[in-house]
Amino acid sequence: MPADVRETLAADYQEVEQMLQKLEQGHLHLAAFGRVSVGKSALLNALLGEARFSTSPLHGETKDRQTGQWREFQEGNVFLVDTPGINEVQGEAREQLAREVASRADLVLFVVDGDLTDTEIAALRSVAAQHRPILLILNKADRYTTVERDALLASLKRHSEGLVDPRNLVTAAADPAVQQVIRVDEAGNETWSERRPPPDIGAVRERLWQILEAEGKTLAALNASLFAGRLSDQVGERVLAARRTLGQRVIRSYCVGKGVAVAINPVPVADLVAAAVVDVSMLTHLSKLYGLPLSRSEAGELIKTIGAQMLLLMGTVWAVHVASSALKLGTGGLSAVVTGGAQGAVAYYSTYVVGQVAERYLAQGKSWGEGGPKFVVREILDNLDRNSIMEQAKQEIREKLKVSPQSAPSA
């Protein structure tokens, strides 16, 4: 890309660059804190969806091996930190522990399994003094009736007033107890079986995401599987929405970049589609956003696949048509900018389509779905308003080149 084009687009690229840097380097530490056996490790496991941290049913057994031990597990850019129980240490050391937890964490998951004890209130105070957002989680909710739960929540709210934002008080069942199921058949025979209910941490995930969003930290959290929410819950939808918003910004920056470059340096029309599908960088960036990084050669392969479908469905004929119909309207004295501008708009549009198709592929977990690439490309082309995007393209290219519409008449 010529130096002057690069300069024109510096701000756009910088924005994308910063976004990616945040995505790559924006580490996020979430620490679970609380008494022994409230389910800290179980909660972290439930967030991850796998048993990374060892849990123990025997109160106190934790003391053998895990006492005083900090354990950390990385998932994407998110570090989950398991801490010793606050009742394992006394006095000054406890203060120290709370300070250390808070200083290492961007967000503290303060786990309890009943009303707050004096020890817990003291620890909560120490953490709150470090000005870290605290999520106060009433775990083992499966042990309580709805009435009991509501009473507990009311009490927790009272006791944590001024320390925890009431919206950050949520319930969870990180590792619900096994239930006995008794079936009675028509003959009156009873069969007993056991059922292990799945973890219920929907409210934790939801609130966690909201806090991260408010703190501007969702970018760092985006590629951690704890927010993948494949269960199509609310969080999953918001994660997807956040990715889409950022993805569209990445695509737009590349479209403008491509459009301006072609407008300044017009290439033979027939090469336009081919020229527009070389946006390997755009795809590698998009893939990082989706937590499914593509190597440059993989991105190249993906572009070839998409390009082939686009050529089948749109054809070089289209590119020639759009460019020439735009040219026809300017009668005589067409400046190079008009010619280039029309080509630039075509380049913009092609890049736009590639971006949308690739984004769909990534959002589906690197899969084309049943209909294959052809189906996806066709569906996206059908749903795009080509003319308005081309108009938008011309406008954005003109803006970048600081050419007024009067001096550069076009379709």
Contact footprint for ligand GDP (CB under 6 A):
34, 36-42, 55-57, 62, 85, 139-140, 142-143, 173-177
Question: Residue 295: exposed, middle, or buried by beta-carbon count in 10 A (0-12, 13-18, 19+)?
Answer: exposed
Give the number of residues in contact with Mg ion, rule: CB under 5 A.
Answer: 1
State the binding partner of 42 from ligand GDP, Mg ion, none, CB within 5 to 8 A by kind. Answer: ligand GDP
Please identify, using beta-carbon distances, which residue of 29 and 35 lies nearer to ligand GDP: 35
State the binding partner of 174 from ligand GDP, Mg ion, none, CB within 5 to 8 A by kind. Answer: ligand GDP
| Least distance from Mg ion to the Cβ atom of residue 74, Å | 18
Using DSSP, state whether 212 is helix, strand or coil. Answer: helix
| Least distance from ligand GDP to the Cβ atom of residue 192, Å | 19
Please identify, using beta-carbon distances, which residue of 85 and 355 lies nearer to ligand GDP: 85
Query: What are the CA-CA distances from residue 151 to residues 138, 154, 177, 238, 358 (Å)?
Result: 12, 5, 21, 31, 50
H or E segment and range at residue 96: helix 91-104
Please identify, using beta-carbon distances, which residue of 8 and 37 lies nearer to ligand GDP: 37
Q: What's the CA angle centered on 55, arms 54 and 60, to 5 degrees?
A: 120
Q: What's the CA angle centered on 236, arms 234 and 237, to 5 degrees?
A: 65
Under rule CB under 5 A, residue 41 binds Mg ion = yes
Q: Over 24-61, what HEC string results?
A: HHCCEEEEEEECCCCCHHHHHHHHHCCCCCCCCCCCCC
- Taking a C-beta distance cutoff of 8 angstroms, is the pair 192, 180 a contact? yes
Taking the C-alpha atoms of residue 252 and residue 240, their distance in angstroms, rounded to an integer, is: 18
Please identify, using beta-carbon distances, which residue of 55 and 316 lies nearer to ligand GDP: 55
State the binding partner of 139 from Mg ion, ligand GDP, none, CB within 5 to 8 A by kind. Answer: ligand GDP
Please identify, using beta-carbon distances, which residue of 8 and 41 lies nearer to Mg ion: 41
| Least distance from Mg ion to the Cβ atom of residue 82, Å | 6
The DSSP result for 155-194, as a single string, is: HHHHHTTTTS-GGGEEE-BSSPPPEEEEEE-TT--EEEEE
Please identify, using beta-carbon distances, which residue of 67 and 103 lies nearer to ligand GDP: 67
Task: Find the binding residues for Mg ion in span 164-193 (CB under 5 A).
Answer: none
Stretch in the footprint of Mg ion (CB under 5 A) among 41-49, 192-200, 288-296, 356-364: 41-49
Taking the C-alpha atoms of residue 17 and residue 355, their distance in angstroms, rounded to an integer, is: 17
Tokens 């380049």: give the residue.
347
State the binding partner of 218 from Mg ion, ligand GDP, none, CB within 5 to 8 A by kind. Answer: none
| Least distance from Mg ion to the Cβ atom of residue 144, Å | 21
Query: What are the CA-CA distances from residue 309 to residues 80, 207, 336 (Å)?
Result: 43, 42, 31
Please identify, using beta-carbon distances, which residue of 117 and 281 lies nearer to Mg ion: 117
Task: Find the binding residues for Mg ion in span 315-344 (CB under 5 A).
Answer: none
Please identify, using beta-carbon distances, which residue of 127 and 269 lies nearer to Mg ion: 127
Stretch in the footprint of Mg ion (CB under 5 A) among 37-45, 227-235, 331-339, 349-357: 37-45
| Least distance from ligand GDP to the Cβ atom of residue 31, Å | 12
Binding residues (CB under 5 A) for Mg ion: these are 41
